[in-house]
Amino acid sequence: MVRKISFKNKRGLVLRGFVHIPKRFDTAVVFCHGFPSSIEGRTSRRIGPALCREGFLVLRFNFSHTPPSGGRFEDKLMSREVSDIRSAVDFLFRNYSFKKLVLAGHSTGAIDVSLYAQSDKRVDKIILTGAVSDLKNAVRYDFTDREVRGFWTRGYIVYRRPGSWADGRRIKKGFYDEFFSLDIPDAIKRYKRPLLIIHGEKDSIPWDREGYALFKMANRPKEFVLIKGADHSFTKPTHWRQVVRQMVSFIKRT
């Protein structure tokens, strides 16, 4: 069963999404989408049904400032997304009964999960796909040199990504600035529960400089899986099936 849900974050904005509910479950998974994706993105649309079929309850939601959740795109901040995760976890605990909680994040969602997980003892395990280890480098994956100059000269840019819902929308320099103030290494070193990192070999985000570098920083127990030939979103069905198998095995492991 799939249920539309909504809940408020700490700033009073309504966050909207879906909960995939199997007949029986003892584990809940919160999935965090990337930037500038949404719950309509490729990874989010596939992960809910895939993990629900394996007997896990899955919550996937749009972060604030990503429609149809509340807030203007121009005011988006990663730190606000990190705070949204707590609101999503609180919503699950208020409305469902389960024994184990897993956070899963893709791309910028993996950044958010990396920054958040160490702060919440309710989190039992985390899964990161397409992750980065250093936001100072990661800014170049999201913004061109011209866009960076625009942030500095105008204080905002008009985001141009044809085919994306965010194409043509303004985003303020504050989003860019957080790439230099948020500390992934510090957060991941503070996290001391099971961690799984999955990265595509052909990801435009280099697996050795980012995903594997993050893995080396992390505490045990931890696992790193490289999907041969896979791109950032594990587009090919054969690659996606490998991702799901790895996730399911990791979640079920005691």
Confidence of residue 139 (pLDDT cuts 50, 70, 90): very high
Residue 241 lies in a domain: yes
Please tell me the predicted confidence (pLDDT) of residue 241: 98
Mean pLDDT of all residues belonging to the chain: 97
What are the CA-CA distances from residue 40 to residues 35, 98, 135, 172, 208 (Å)? 12, 26, 25, 24, 29
219-245 mean pLDDT: 98
Confidence of residue 67 (pLDDT cuts 50, 70, 90): very high
Q: Quick check: pTM over 0.85? A: yes
198-224 mean pLDDT: 98
Please tell me the predicted confidence (pLDDT) of residue 96: 98
Residue 147 lies in a domain: no
State both tokens at 48.
Answer: 């809910």
**Number of domains into which the chain is organized:** 1
* Residue positions counted in the chain: 254
Residue 177 lies in a domain: no
pLDDT of residue 254 exceeding 90, the answer is no
Residue 94 lies in a domain: yes
Residue 173 lies in a domain: no
For residue 68, the enclosing domain spans: 2-134+183-252
Residue 157 lies in a domain: no
Facing residues of 57 across strands?
28
Residue 28 lies in a domain: yes
29-43 mean pLDDT: 96
pLDDT tens figures, 185-204: 999 999 999 999 999 999 99
**CATH number of 17's domain:** 3.40.50.1820
**180-215 residues labelled b (16+ CB within 10 A) or e (exposed):** eebebeebbeebeebbbbbbbeebebebeebbbbbb
Residue 197 lies in a domain: yes
Confidence of residue 158 (pLDDT cuts 50, 70, 90): very high
Confidence of residue 69 (pLDDT cuts 50, 70, 90): very high
Best CA proximity match to 121, nearest among 149, 148, 101: 101
User: Which residue in the block uniquely carries the two structure tokens 């500038």?
Assistant: 36
33-54 mean pLDDT: 96
pLDDT of residue 33 exceeding 90, the answer is yes
